[in-house]
Amino acid sequence: MKFKGDSSFAEVNVAARKLIEIANAIEAVQDGRIHIEKINAPFLAAGGTPDEYRTGLERAIANGWLTIHRSGVYVQFTQVGADLFA
């Protein structure tokens, strides 16, 4: 999927990579939880749109890099996602 416009995150895989880079830079709280707002705001500040954020997050989850709690409040790295930064 590609978004219209000149955004640097128009390609969904680029958006997903940016999200996990942001998540990796954040210190996780108990049990490796990363609160969703800790990755949302930096992504938007980097020039991403809400739609790019949503689809990037969905792609990161589909790729098996992150899991999201059913409440939607936090994400956690999977082993596959953590291995990207090892």
Domain annotation covers residue 29? yes
CA–CA gap between residue 66 and residue 80 (Å, rounded): 8
Domain annotation covers residue 6? no
CA–CA gap between residue 29 and residue 2 (Å, rounded): 33
- pLDDT score of 49: 93
Q: Which helix (H) or strand (E) holds 61?
A: helix 50-62
**Strand segments (E) across the chain:** 34-35, 66-68, 74-77
CATH code (residue 16): 1.10.10.10
- pLDDT score of 10: 85
Domain annotation covers residue 58? yes
Q: What is the mean pLDDT of each run of 10 residues along the chain (86 residues)?
A: 65 94 94 95 94 96 97 96 89
- pLDDT score of 2: 53
C-alpha closest to that of 49 among 7, 1, 6: 7
In sequence order, the β-bridge partners of residue 66 are 77
Count of domains forming the chain: 1
- pLDDT score of 8: 81
* Structural domain that includes position 31: 12-83
